[in-house]
Chains A and B, each alone.
Chain A
Amino acid sequence: MKKKLVSILLCAAMISTVLVGCGSKEAADQATDETTEESAADTAEPADDTAQAAGTGKVYYLNFKPEVAEIWEELAELYTKETGVEVKVVTAASGTYEQTLKSEIAKTDAPTLFQINGPVGYQSWKEYCLDLSDTDLYSWMIDKNLAVSTDEGVFGIPYVVEGYGIIYNDAIMRNYFALEDKAVDISSAEEIKNFETLKAVVEDMTAHKEDLGIEGVFASTSLTPGEDWRWQTHLANLPVYYEYKDKGISDTDTLEFTYSDNFKNIFDLYLNNSCTAPTMLASKTVEDSMAELALGKAAMVQNGNWGWGDIADVDGNTIAEEDVKFMPIYIGVEGEETQGLCTGTENFFSINSKASPEDQAASVAFVEWLFSSDTGKDYVTNKLGFITPFSTFEEDEKPSDPLAKEVLRYMEDSSLTSVAWNFTSFPSQTFKDNFGAALLEYAQGSMTWDDVKNTVVEQWAAEKAAIAE
Chain B
Amino acid sequence: MKTRKVIRILLFLLLTVLSVLFLAPVFIVFMNSFKGKFYISDTPFEFPNGETFVGISNYINGIAKTGFLNAFGWSLFITVCSVAVILLFTSMTAWYITRVKTKATSFLYYFFVFSMIVPFQMVMFTMSKVANMLHLDNPAGIIIIYLGFGSGLSVFMFSGFVKSIPTDIEEAAMIDGCNPLQTFFKVVLPILKPTAITVAILNAMWIWNDYLLPSLVIGTEYRTIPVAVQYLIGGYGSKDMGAMMALLVLAIVPIVIFYLTCQKHIIEGVVAGAVKG
Chain A residues within CB distance 8 Å of chain B: 65-67, 69, 88, 90-91, 93-94, 96, 103-104, 106-108, 226-227, 280, 283-288, 291, 310, 315
Contact = CB atoms under 8 A, between A and B. Distances in A.
B239 A90 contact: no
A285 B234 CA distance: 12
A66 B239 CA distance: 11
Contacts of B234: 66, 93-94, 96, 226
A231 to B, nearest CB: 15
Contact of B235 (A66, A280, A284): A66
A107 B125 CA distance: 12
A285 B239 contact: yes
Contact of B221 (A66, A90, A285): A90
A108 B132 contact: yes
Contacts of B239: 285, 287
Contacts of A103: 128, 216
Nearest to B236: A66
Interface in B39-84: 41-42
A91 B238 contact: no
Contacts of A287: 237-240
Contact of A107 (B137, B237, B238, B240): B137
Given A94-B234, A107-B137, 5 more contacts: A88-B221, A104-B219, A283-B42, A286-B237, A287-B238
Interface on chain B toward A: helix, strand, loop, or mixed SS? loop
A291 B236 contact: no
Interface string B206-242: 0000000000100111000000000101111111100
B135 A108 contact: yes
A67 B133 contact: no
B89 interface: no
Contacts of A106: 129, 132
Contacts of A288: 38, 41, 238
Interface band, chain B? 20 to 34
A247 B137 CA distance: 50
A108 B236 contact: no
A284 B216 CA distance: 29
Contacts of B128: 103
A74 to B, nearest CB: 13
A285 B42 CA distance: 12
Nearest to B64: A70
B221 A291 contact: no
A108 B128 CA distance: 12
B1 to A, nearest CB: 54
A31 to B, nearest CB: 33
Given A107-B137, A287-B240, A93 B235 contact: yes
A103 B42 CA distance: 36
B233 A93 contact: yes
Contacts of B129: 106
Given A90-B221, A291-B38, A286 B238 contact: yes
A283 B41 CA distance: 7
A287 to B, nearest CB: 3
Given A90-B221, A108-B132, A69 B240 contact: no
Contact of A66 (B36, B41, B237): B237
29 contacts: A66-B235, A66-B236, A66-B237, A66-B238, A67-B237, A67-B238, A69-B236, A69-B237, A88-B221, A90-B219, A91-B235, A93-B231, A94-B237, A96-B234, A104-B219, A106-B129, A106-B132, A107-B132, A108-B135, A227-B238, A283-B41, A283-B42, A284-B41, A285-B238, A285-B239, A286-B238, A287-B237, A287-B239, A291-B38
Of B38, B128, B233, which is in contact with the most chain A CB atoms at under 10 Å from its CB?
B38
A372 to B, nearest CB: 28
Contacts of A310: 238
A291 B239 CA distance: 13
Nearest to B233: A93
B187 to A, nearest CB: 45
Interface in B84-135: 128-129, 132-133, 135
Contacts of A93: 231, 233-235
B276 to A, nearest CB: 37
Contacts of B221: 88, 90
A464 B175 CA distance: 75
A107 B136 CA distance: 12
Interface string B158-201: 00000000000000000000000000000000000000000000
Nearest to B134: A108
Contacts of A291: 38
Closest CB pairs A-B (n = 5): A93-B234, A287-B238, A66-B237, A67-B237, A285-B238
A88 B36 CA distance: 32
A108 B237 contact: no
Contacts of A286: 237-238
Nearest to A291: B38
A65 B236 CA distance: 8
A227 B233 CA distance: 11
Nearest to A283: B41
Given A66-B235, A69-B235, A291-B38, A90 B220 contact: yes
A286 B237 CA distance: 8
Contacts of B219: 90, 104
Contacts of B236: 66-67, 69, 91
A285 B235 CA distance: 14
A199 to B, nearest CB: 28
Contacts of B41: 283-284, 288
Given A90-B220, A286-B237, A108 B38 contact: no
A272 to B, nearest CB: 20
A66 B132 CA distance: 25
Nearest to B65: A70
A286 B234 CA distance: 13
Interface string B226-264: 000001011111111000000000000000000000000
Contacts of B132: 106-108
Nearest to B51: A316
B34 to A, nearest CB: 15
Of B41, B135, B221, B237, which is in contact with the most chain A CB atoms at under 10 Å from its CB?
B237
A104 B233 CA distance: 20
Contacts of B135: 108
Contacts of A91: 235-236
Contacts of A280: 42
A54 B49 CA distance: 54
B59 to A, nearest CB: 16
Contacts of A107: 132, 137
A98 B129 CA distance: 18
A283 B43 CA distance: 12
A141 B236 CA distance: 30
B30 to A, nearest CB: 20
